[in-house]
Structure formats: structure tokens, C-alpha cells
Chain A
């Protein structure tokens, strides 16, 4: 069965520090992974998708099939990055997204 693991619940950093939010997955098929973000009092929204190999708001994430990881990184955190971040795995067989438990990122001034 598919699984998404986000091992940490909270990451607190100072503004300007690097950020890495960890995500590991378990899936026997070809994975399609996403990072979602939920800012305070806002809806859950897509941050980036691995298949696009894009950088959004300075965040990047590389799919590492050998380590089954999809860590989210940003070299210099900003206060406005404070939010809840969820890693999600798409499984094509039933069109479902499996979400990790999420991590709260807190960026202090």
C-alpha cells in the first residue's frame, strides 16, 4: 500500500536560514508527487509538482527514486513561508492523493 511519511511535525528557523522539509514515500508504481501548502486561514493549495521540475516562491523539490524521497528545500526562508506543508503522492490506479501528516514551518524574524 502507498504511504507518505513526513517525519517531523514542526520546524522552526530564523529568517534567512535554509529550510528542508522531509518527505519519504512508499509506492510500488511510478510515483507522482506534490507539495501542498496551507497558510493561516487559507485553503490548501498546490505549491509544486515534481513532474514540472519548477521553483515556486524559491522552493524546489527533487524526486529521488533511490531514496524514495521528495524533500522540499529553500535556501533562505522568509517569514511569509510560515505555514503547514503537506507532501502528497498520486496513485493512478484510483486517482487518489495520499497525504503525509504535514509539518508546520515557523520562520522567526
Chain B
């Protein structure tokens, strides 16, 4: 299974600023995903990050607010732009299996805990 790391692990930011979260996978994965998880709540998919094309955003999430990069098969970034306190959450990165993997589960990073003041 892929091992996923995220940086930073946590941050406290001022409203109006932006934060870029990095996600690194130790093997090549076809798809990478970005989620938001409120403490004790379920995961909400923000977007799917595809290499070589624009990310696919879910309803309620837009590229101007959450720009995503996917420069290669092992790395992705999510930027939370013009932050407000409502953006305080845990942001999770995940990847699916290596190309040709038997199963369709996803593997998750440890999360980035963001607090916006």
C-alpha cells in the first residue's frame, strides 16, 4: 500500500491569507484526492487531482478558492485561498492504488489541521 505524507501537519493562519498543503506519495498513484474533515465528522471530497489536467471539483468547491496542482504521479498541492474562520478544518490527501492495482481503496495522509483566526 502507498504511504502518504502531508506538510504542514498543522498551521494557524490569519484570515485573508493563503496556505498551500503538500501531499507526497511514496509510489506512483493514478488518482489523488483532497478531502475536508471537520473534527469528529465525515469526509467531504473537495476535488480529484489528475496529472496533466485540471482538477475535478465537487459541488460547492471552486478552483479560485482551492487551487490544486498535480505535477507528477507522486505529488499534489492544495491551496486554501483568502481564508476565513469557516475554512478551519482538517484537510486530507489520499491516493488510490498503483496503476493496475487489484482493489479500489484509497490510502490517506495524516491530515493537515488548519485553524484560521
Contacts and interface: CB of A to CB of B under 8 A. Distances in A.
Interface in A14-71: 32, 34, 43-46, 49, 51-52
Q: How large is the interface on B (under 10, 10 to 19, 20 to 34, 35 or more residues)?
A: 20 to 34
Nearest to A86: B42
Contact of B109 (A43, A51, A92, A101): A43
Contacts of B96: 95
A44 B110 CA distance: 7
A43 B40 CA distance: 13
Contacts of A101: 41-42
Contacts of A92: 104
Contact of B105 (A34, A100, A102): A34
A97 B106 contact: yes
Contacts of B48: 94-96
